Chain A
Amino acid sequence: MSAAVQEVAGAGLAPRAPVMELRGVSRRFSRGLDLAAKVAQRLGAPVKEEIVHAVDGVDLSIAKGEVVGLVGESGCGKSTLGRMVAGILPPSDGAILWRGRDLRSLNGADAREAKLRTQMIFQDPYASLNPRLKVAEIVGEAPMVHGIVRRRDLEPYVDEQMRRAGLDPAFRRRYPHQFSGGQRQRIGIARALAVQPDFLVCDEAVAALDVSIQAQILNLFMKLRRELDLTYLFISHDLGVVEHLSDRVVIMYLGRVVEAAPAEEVFRRANHPYTQALLSEVPRIETRKRAFAGVKGEIPSPLNPPPGCHFHPRCPHAFDRCRVERPALKPVAAGHTSACHLNDRT
Chain B
Amino acid sequence: MTATLEVRDLKTHFFTRAGVVRAVDGVSFAVDRGKVLGLVGESGSGKTVTGFSIMGLVDPPGRIAGGKILFKGRDLASLSEEEMRALRGNRIAMIFQDPMMTLNPVLRIDTQMIETVQAHERVSREEARQRARDALGQVGIPSPDERLRSYPHQFSGGMRQRVAIAIALLHKPDVIVADEPTTALDVTIQGQILAEAQKLCRVTGTAMIWITHDLSVVAGLADDIAVMYAGRVVEQGPVDEVLDAPFHPYTVGLIGSVPSRNRRGEPLRQIPGMTPSLLDLPAGCTFRARCPRAEPRCAEPPPMAEYSPGRFARCIHPYNVPEMAA
Do the two chains belong together in a single complex? yes
Q: Which residues of A contact B (CB under 8 A)?
A: 1, 3, 73-74, 180-183, 210-216, 218-219, 222-223, 237, 239-241, 243-245, 263-264, 277-278, 281-295, 298-299
Q: Is the CB of A288 within 8 A of B220?
A: yes
Q: What would 6 more interface pairs be, CB under 8 Å, given A286-B260, A294-B192? A: A211-B257, A215-B259, A215-B268, A216-B270, A278-B187, A282-B216
List chain B residues, Cβ under 8 A from A281: 187-188, 190-191
Q: Is the CB of A295 within 8 A of B188?
A: yes
Across the A-B interface, how many residue pairs have beta carbons closer than 8 Å? 144
Sample (16) of A-B pairs whose CB atoms are under 8 Å apart: A73-B187, A211-B42, A211-B257, A211-B258, A212-B271, A215-B256, A215-B269, A240-B258, A241-B259, A245-B259, A277-B188, A284-B260, A285-B215, A285-B255, A294-B194, A295-B188
Give the CA-CA distance A241 to B261 in the complex, in Å: 11
B219 part of interface (Cβ distance < 8 Å): yes
Q: Is the CB of A244 within 8 A of B239?
A: no
The residue on A at minimum CB distance from B43 is A210
Q: Which residues of B contact A (CB under 8 A)?
A: 42-43, 156-159, 186-195, 198, 213-217, 219-221, 223, 239-240, 243, 253-262, 264-265, 267-272, 274-275
Using known A-B contacts A213-B274, A237-B187, determine if residue A298 contacts B260 with beta carbons closer than 8 Å.
no
Give the CA-CA distance A215 to B290 in the complex, in Å: 15
Using known A-B contacts A244-B265, A295-B188, determine if residue A215 contacts B219 with beta carbons closer than 8 Å.
no
Q: Is the CB of A243 within 8 A of B260?
A: yes
List chain B residues, Cβ under 8 A from A292: 191-192, 194-195, 198, 220-221
A45 to chain B, nearest CB (A): 23
Give the CA-CA distance A215 to B269 in the complex, in Å: 7
Q: Is the CB of A288 within 8 A of B240?
A: yes
Of A277, A278, A298, most buried by chain B (CB within 10 Å of CB) is A298
Q: Is the CB of B271 within 8 A of A294?
A: no
Give the CA-CA distance A241 to B268 in the complex, in Å: 10
The residue on A at minimum CB distance from B253 is A212
Q: Is the CB of A73 within 8 A of B217?
A: no
Using known A-B contacts A263-B264, A284-B216, A290-B220, determine if residue A240 contacts B188 with beta carbons closer than 8 Å.
no
List chain B residues, Cβ under 8 A from A74: 157, 186
Give the CA-CA distance A7 to B294 in the complex, in Å: 50
A209 to chain B, nearest CB (A): 9
Q: Is the CB of B186 within 8 A of A299?
A: yes
Q: Is the CB of B270 within 8 A of A212?
A: yes
B310 to chain A, nearest CB (A): 16
List chain A residues, Cβ under 8 A from B223: 289
Q: Is the CB of B188 within 8 A of A278?
A: yes
Give the CA-CA distance A294 to B258 in the complex, in Å: 23
The residue on B at minimum CB distance from A239 is B187
List chain A residues, Cβ under 8 A from B253: 212
Of A214, A218, A282, A283, most buried by chain B (CB within 10 Å of CB) is A283
Give the CA-CA distance A298 to B190 in the complex, in Å: 11
List chain A residues, Cβ under 8 A from B267: 219, 222-223
A306 to chain B, nearest CB (A): 16
- Where chain B touches its partner, the secondary structure class is helix
Q: Which 9 A-B pairs have the closest CB atoms?
A: A294-B192, A215-B257, A244-B259, A281-B191, A73-B186, A283-B216, A294-B191, A292-B195, A210-B42
List chain B residues, Cβ under 8 A from A245: 259, 265
Our pick among A180, A241, A264, A295 for the contact of B192 (Cβ within 8 Å) is A295
Q: Is the CB of B188 within 8 A of A212?
A: no
Q: Is the CB of B264 within 8 A of A244?
A: yes
Give the CA-CA distance A19 to B228 in the complex, in Å: 45
Give the CA-CA distance A237 to B185 in the complex, in Å: 10
List chain B residues, Cβ under 8 A from A210: 42-43, 213, 275
List chain A residues, Cβ under 8 A from B260: 240, 243-244, 284-286
Using known A-B contacts A240-B258, A278-B187, determine if residue A291 contacts B195 with beta carbons closer than 8 Å.
yes
List chain A residues, Cβ under 8 A from B195: 291-294
List chain B residues, Cβ under 8 A from A211: 42, 213-215, 254, 257-258
The residue on B at minimum CB distance from A180 is B274
The residue on B at minimum CB distance from A293 is B195
The residue on B at minimum CB distance from A1 is B265
Q: Is the CB of A294 within 8 A of B188?
A: yes
Q: Is the CB of A244 within 8 A of B191?
A: no
The residue on B at minimum CB distance from A72 is B186
Of B186, B219, B223, B275, most buried by chain A (CB within 10 Å of CB) is B186
Q: Is the CB of B270 within 8 A of A285?
A: no
The residue on B at minimum CB distance from A182 is B274
Give the CA-CA distance A282 to B220 in the complex, in Å: 10
List chain B residues, Cβ under 8 A from A223: 267
Give the CA-CA distance A27 to B122 in the complex, in Å: 55
B39 to chain A, nearest CB (A): 15
Give the CA-CA distance A291 to B194 in the complex, in Å: 9
Q: Is the CB of B216 within 8 A of A240?
A: yes
The residue on B at minimum CB distance from A183 is B274
Of A1, A212, A295, most buried by chain B (CB within 10 Å of CB) is A212
A265 to chain B, nearest CB (A): 12
The residue on B at minimum CB distance from A71 is B187
Q: Is the CB of B42 within 8 A of A287?
A: no
Using known A-B contacts A244-B259, A281-B187, A295-B188, determine if residue A289 contacts B220 with beta carbons closer than 8 Å.
yes
List chain A residues, Cβ under 8 A from B264: 243-244, 263-264
List chain A residues, Cβ under 8 A from B43: 181, 210
